[in-house]
């Protein structure tokens, strides 16, 4: 079965609805319909999506420009939009190497757009399930050298690993394999930070769309970062992580960056 055959147009898919909320065009009628219904239940979802992408830009800028990271493993990539991880990183350090991982067939059909790389660097795309971290780790070489520091980017993806122990074990497995000086950048939806309305929206999503999603508390989110050094300003609304200028409104999405000591 090709990736085109795997695309379901009869049920809303997260990668495409996320693309819709971000103002993209890579989505179907069913995605727009369910996306609008979710927005009706949880009106700030578009702000969440935009804040999450802005967090990506600031986190990758920090990692490339200040932490000196040159390797990025972006799990749960999503559809290409402006300022994808390789564009941000290679603007600062053209030799940066990036591996993207997603399991949505429509993301695979857009892989060519993601695979463009500065000539000094390299970009690769892996069709893999985040539930199986060893498959991912086996596939990243030769694009990434796992004996050197890697920034693992997991934005809006652990919420699709419904069991918290399993999600924590996946993060730990990946961070255990890569060396000190590696980083983890992570965002995750929550019912805190004004996200109470998210409960109904997520229940609706889980009945009408795929894959199923869950929110997590600050304590559960903090568990992903155990054993790592949490960088300033710690666990915050992703809209506020090292944002410049006037304080951004909070969104119901935690964001943090941590370093493996
Ligand atoms: C909310 S989007 C986030 C995209 C991007 N990281 C961002 O922050 O803008 C989540 C992405 O995770 C992908 N995804 C969901 N479950 C996955 C899984 N089990 N394995 C790999 N990717 C998955 C979806 O296909 C989607 O592209």
Sequence spans of domains, the chain:
3-259
Closest atom of ligand 1 to CA, residue 55: 8
Q: Is residue 35 within 8 Å of 210, Cβ to Cβ?
A: no
pLDDT of 229 reads 98
Distance 104 CA to ligand 1 centre (A): 8
What topology is assigned to 3-259 in CATH? Rossmann fold (3.40.50)
Asked whether the bond before 252 is cis by omega within 30 degrees of 0, the reply is no
Q: List C-alpha distances in Å: 52 to 90, 185, 237.
A: 20, 11, 9
Strands (E), 23-179: 71-75, 97-102, 122-127, 151-155
Distance 201 CA to ligand 1 centre (A): 18
pLDDT of 204 reads 98
pLDDT of 115 reads 79
Nearest to 54, CA basis, from 82, 21, 24: 82
Q: Which residues line ligand 1 (CB under 6 A)?
A: 14-15, 18, 52-53, 56, 76-78, 102-104, 107, 129-131, 155-157, 160, 211
Task: Report residue 3's pLDDT band, with 50, 70 and 90 as the boundaries.
Answer: low
> By percentage, how much of the chain surpasses pLDDT 70?
98
pLDDT of 5 reads 67
pLDDT at 131 over 70: yes
Distance 158 CA to ligand 1 centre (A): 8
CA distance 95 to 28: 36
pLDDT at 113 over 90: no
Mutate to test the pocket of ligand 1, among 102, 134, 136 (most ligand atoms within 8 A of CB): 102
Asked whether the bond before 233 is cis by omega within 30 degrees of 0, the reply is yes
pLDDT of 252 reads 98
Among protein residues, the one whose CA lies closest to atom 1 of ligand 1: 156
* Residues 6+ positions from 213 with CB-CB distance below 8 Å: 14, 159, 160, 189, 202, 205, 206
Distance 213 CA to ligand 1 centre (A): 11
- The structure tokens listed for 49 are 């999506």
Global pTM value: 0.97
User: Average per-residue pLDDT in the chain?
Assistant: 95
């Amino acid at each position: 079965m090709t990736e085109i055959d795997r695309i379901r147009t009869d049920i809303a898919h997260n990668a495409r609805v996320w693309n819709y909320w971000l103002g993209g065009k890579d989505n179907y009628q069913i995605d727009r319909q369910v996306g609008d219904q979710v927005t009706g239940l949880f009106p700030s979802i578009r702000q969440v999506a935009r804040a999450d992408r802005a967090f990506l830009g600031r986190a990758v800028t920090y990692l490339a420009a200040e932490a000196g990271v040159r390797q990025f493993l972006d799990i749960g990539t999503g559809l290409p939009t402006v300022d994808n991880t390789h564009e941000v990183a290679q603007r600062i350090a053209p030799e940066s190497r990036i591996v993207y991982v997603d399991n949505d067939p429509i993301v695979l059909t857009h892989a060519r757009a993601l695979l463009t790389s500065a000539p000094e660097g390299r970009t690769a795309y892996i069709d893999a399930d985040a539930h199986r971290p060893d498959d991912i780790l086996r596939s990243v070489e030769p694009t990434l050298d796992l004996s050197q520091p890697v920034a693992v980017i997991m934005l809006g993806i652990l919420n699709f690993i419904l069991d918290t122990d399993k999600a924590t074990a996946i993060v730990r497995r990946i961070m255990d394999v890569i060396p000190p000086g590696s980083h983890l950048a992570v965002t995750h939806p929550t019912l805190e930070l004004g996200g109470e309305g998210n409960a109904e929206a997520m229940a609706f999503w889980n009945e009408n769309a795929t894959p199923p999603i869950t929110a997590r508390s600050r304590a559960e989110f903090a568990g992903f970062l155990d054993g790592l050094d949490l960088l300033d300003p710690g666990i915050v609304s992703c809209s506020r992580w090292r944002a410049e200028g006037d304080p951004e409104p909070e969104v119901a999405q935690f964001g943090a960056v941590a370093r493996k000591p």
